[in-house]
């Protein structure tokens, strides 16, 4: 196998036993990092520390990922005005929360003869929420359903803050507040794997 030491220097091609002895001398692990290579490549490292650093990197990457939420709202082509306004209100709330909305018009029986009714309804809805969203997927017929996807604008208007009047003085407000103990600092390291013991053995690195 080809061996790389803990500092990243090439040791060269040596036997597995020689590589294990070299790792033992440094109190480190022998980890296979490129099994598909010819010959396979192993690295001398602290495998517990390596796993810990990988977990930290993955956690940081997950924090930077943007999660897109898609809500669905179903309507009938002959929906009455009250139900339409109610469902539109839900759609507006979803969009203000940053979610995409998939609007589905469900046809039944002879309603399939007039798909243009559903298309007009979807176009009207898109116009009603034009200030908040844009059409990401144009209305299209899929079996007995017609769907359209709305996505919020990059800078959708936020809900106006509720106005409040000046606070009325309370009885005893001139008295100094009682001292309170500061909240205890919380440490949540449950998802941080602690460095494990390091048996001297050949270990295959994940993703290698």
User: Domain containing 28 — which CATH number?
Assistant: 3.10.20.80
Question: Are 93 and 58 members of one domain?
Answer: no
Q: What is the pTM of this model?
A: 0.45
Question: Are 59 and 74 members of one domain?
Answer: no
What pLDDT is recorded for position 59?
86
Residue 184 lies in a domain: no
Residue 102 lies in a domain: yes
Question: Are 9 and 42 members of one domain?
Answer: yes
End of a domain among 152, 173, 199? 152
Residue 183 lies in a domain: no
Residue 164 lies in a domain: no
Cα–Cα distance, 19 to 111 (Å, whole number)? 75
Burial letters 114-152, b for 16+ CB under 10 A, else e: ebebbbebbeebbeebeebbebeeebeeeeeebbbbbbb
End of a domain among 46, 65, 84? 65
Question: Are 79 and 125 members of one domain?
Answer: yes
Question: Are 20 and 45 members of one domain?
Answer: yes
Number of domains in the chain: 2
What pLDDT is recorded for position 136?
92
What pLDDT is recorded for position 69?
84
Residue 59 lies in a domain: yes
What pLDDT is recorded for position 9?
87
Is the Cα dihedral 115, 120, 121, 126 positive or negative? Answer: positive
Q: Which of 162, 89, 161, 163 is nearest to 132 (CA)?
A: 89
Residue 88 lies in a domain: yes
What is the longest distance spanned by two Cα atoms in the chain? 84
Residue 177 lies in a domain: no
What pLDDT is recorded for position 33?
87
pLDDT tens for the chain, 208 residues long, are 899 988 888 888 999 889 899 889 889 999 888 888 888 999 999 989 889 998 998 888 877 766 778 899 999 999 999 999 999 999 999 999 889 999 999 999 888 888 999 999 999 999 999 999 999 999 999 889 999 999 998 754 444 445 555 555 555 445 454 444 444 444 444 444 444 445 555 566 655 4
By residue range, what is the domain housing residue 111?
70-152
End of a domain among 65, 97, 115? 65
What pLDDT is recorded for position 65?
67
Question: Are 74 and 20 members of one domain?
Answer: no
Cβ atoms of residues 125 and 95 within 8 Å = no
Half-sphere exposure of 71 (CA within 13 A, CB side): 18
Is the Cα dihedral 41, 42, 43, 48 positive or negative? Answer: positive
Cα–Cα distance, 85 to 90 (Å, whole number)? 9
Cα–Cα distance, 43 to 96 (Å, whole number)? 51
Question: Are 44 and 78 members of one domain?
Answer: no
Alpha helical stretches, state H, the chain: 16-25, 47-64, 81-96, 115-128
Cα–Cα distance, 185 to 83 (Å, whole number)? 49
What pLDDT is recorded for position 157?
46
Question: Are 120 and 94 members of one domain?
Answer: yes
Residue 208 lies in a domain: no
């Amino acid at each position: 196998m080809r061996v790389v030491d803990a500092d990243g220097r090439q040791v060269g091609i040596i036997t597995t036993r020689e590589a294990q002895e070299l790792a033992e001398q440094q109190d480190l692990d022998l980890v296979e990092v490129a099994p598909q290579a010819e010959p396979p490549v192993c690295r001398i490292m602290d495998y517990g520390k390596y796993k810990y650093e990988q977990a930290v990197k993955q956690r940081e990457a997950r924090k930077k990922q943007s999660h897109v939420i898609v809500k669905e709202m179903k309507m009938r082509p002959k929906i009455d005005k009250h139900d339409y306004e109610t469902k539109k209100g839900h759609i507006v709330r979803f969009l203000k929360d940053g979610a995409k909305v998939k609007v589905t018009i469900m046809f039944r029986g002879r309603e399939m003869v007039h798909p243009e009714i559903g298309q007009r309804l979807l176009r009207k809805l898109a116009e009603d929420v034009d200030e908040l969203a844009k059409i990401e997927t144009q209305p299209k017929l899929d079996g007995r359903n017609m769907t359209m996807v709305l996505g919020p604008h990059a800078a959708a208007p936020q809900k106006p803050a509720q106005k409040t009047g000046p606070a009325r003085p309370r009885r005893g407000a001139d008295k100094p507040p009682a001292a309170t103990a500061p909240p205890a600092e919380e440490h949540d390291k449950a998802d941080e794997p602690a460095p494990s013991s390091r048996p001297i053995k050949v270990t295959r690195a994940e993703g290698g």
